[in-house]
Amino acid sequence: MVSFAPELQRARQIEQAPRALAFAQQHDFAAWQQRVAAQLQRMVGVIPVRDPLDLRIEYTVASAEYHETRFIFTAEPGADVPAHLLIPARGQPPYPVMICLQGHTSGMHISLGRAQFPGDAASIAEDRDYALQAIRQGCAALVIEQRAFGERRDCRPDCVRHVIDRPCHFTTLTALLLGRTLLGERVFDVSRAIDALAAFPDLDLQRIGCVGDSTGGTIAYFAAALDARITVTMPAAYVCAVRYALGAIDHCEDHYLPGFLNYFDIADIAGLIAPRGLVVVTGRADPSFPLAGVEEAFTTIQRIYAAAGAPDRARLVVGDGGHRFFADLAWPVFHEVAGW
């Protein structure tokens, strides 16, 4: 019987896509990095001008574990970013900083371990309270709200929101109309958050890490690729060969870049992070980013890091579970890679 299913054609196209800038051992590594960086920068879309941050502190509070500052900065006109900075109450400054990024949860308060909505407690129980983890690891923690999530969610009325269960839908597609991508805008917000850290004197801006899972992992990965001030990054539940995940399983629109497979696969982006630290975290039973695809991607990442002269600075952590973070396994490896 003849099949007219479009997914069969798409699978062939994904398999056969040129990936013209994919890593190859014979490449001059530095020249290859430059070509990848230039192409990826074009692909993420229009990058806004870095206007003044207009940083405003809303409040400060202290607890036994940390001092917390809630502030807002302007990433670009009309795009205010709420943030929380937690600085350890113990130890000596300057402290290294972990940027903490949530995926499709109800918002950044999950990173702070503060359940506000149904389902939040389950998210926190899957080790998404990144800021509290960072404090216990001796790091400061910067929590930011990503575009289209939490306090920055789509607030249009339901009568015009026809895809209500996918909070990134409208913001992703309208970004394309403007020559942008939501992925690129979120990476820009992370970069502007790093700019904002200069306002806080107790931080070591030579030691900046980034952590997140799912969409948070996506942005942790691409932010490190596009901003070299991130010295080590720990993406969870994301890094996986396209043919196993984004090209085979339904994912939110915010993971996709137009034309991506014409030049790269996911692993190739690690070439812009190397030789800085990279800890890839995944679940053995993650249904969204299957382990076989993660292992395939990480094999390429290992070759990239070997070519960069830093074979020990990329590590893979596999937990016994699904689509989540694995704090007990990941943090010891992070410290080995980061040297903090």
Q: Give the model confidence (pLDDT) of 197-225 as tens digits.
A: 999 999 999 999 999 999 999 999 999 99
Residue 161 has pLDDT above 90, yes or no: no
Rg (CA), the chain: 19
Q: Give the model confidence (pLDDT) of 255-309 as tens digits.
A: 999 999 999 999 999 999 999 999 999 999 999 999 999 999 999 999 999 999 9
State which H helix or E strand residue 104 sits in: none
Mutual angle of helices 29-43 and 215-226, in 10-degree steps: 120
108-129 average pLDDT score: 98
Cβ-contact 208, 230 below 8 angstroms: yes
pLDDT at 165: 80
Residue 319 has pLDDT above 70, yes or no: yes
- Is residue 148 in a domain? yes
Q: Give the model confidence (pLDDT) of 35-68 as tens digits.
A: 999 999 999 999 899 999 999 999 999 999 999 9
Alpha helix ranges (H) inside the chain: 6-16, 29-43, 120-123, 130-136, 169-177, 182-196, 215-226, 291-307, 327-338
Residue 3 has pLDDT above 80, yes or no: no
- Is residue 267 in a domain? yes
Residue 4 has pLDDT above 90, yes or no: no
Which amino acid, 112?
L
Q: Which CATH number goes with the domain that contains 330? A: 3.40.50.1820
153-169 average pLDDT score: 88
State which H helix or E strand residue 53 sits in: none
Residue 26 has pLDDT above 80, yes or no: no
Cβ-contact 236, 281 below 8 angstroms: yes
pLDDT at 2: 63
pLDDT at 61: 98
Residue 104 has pLDDT above 90, yes or no: yes
Residue 55, CA distances (Å) to 51, 60, 188, 205 in order: 12, 14, 16, 18
State which H helix or E strand residue 230 sits in: none
By residue range, what is the domain housing residue 255? 36-338
pLDDT at 27: 78
Structural domains of the chain, count: 1
* Structure confidence at residue 162 as a pLDDT band (50, 70, 90): confident
Neighbouring CB atoms inside 10 A of 5's CB total 8
Residue 1 has pLDDT above 80, yes or no: no
- Is residue 27 in a domain? no
**Which residues does residue 71 pair with via DSSP β-bridges, in sequence order?**
57, 83
CA 292, 295, 301, 306 dihedral sign is negative
- Is residue 284 in a domain? yes
- Is residue 9 in a domain? no
User: For the chain, how far is it from start to end, CA to CA, in angstroms?
Assistant: 60
Residue 164 has pLDDT above 80, yes or no: no
The vertex-269 CA angle with 19 and 20, nearest 5°, equals 15
pLDDT at 150: 95
315-328 average pLDDT score: 98
The percent of residues in the chain predicted with pLDDT above 90, rounded, is 94
Q: Give the model confidence (pLDDT) of 220-247 as tens digits.
A: 999 999 999 999 999 999 999 999 999 9
- Is residue 6 in a domain? no
Cβ-contact 152, 146 below 8 angstroms: yes
Cβ-contact 190, 144 below 8 angstroms: yes
Q: Residue 201, Cα to own-chain centre: how many angstroms?
A: 25
Give dist(CA 237, CA 222) in Å, integer. Answer: 14
The percent of residues in the chain predicted with pLDDT above 70, rounded, is 99
Residue 235, CA distances (Å) to 96, 206, 282 in order: 18, 20, 9
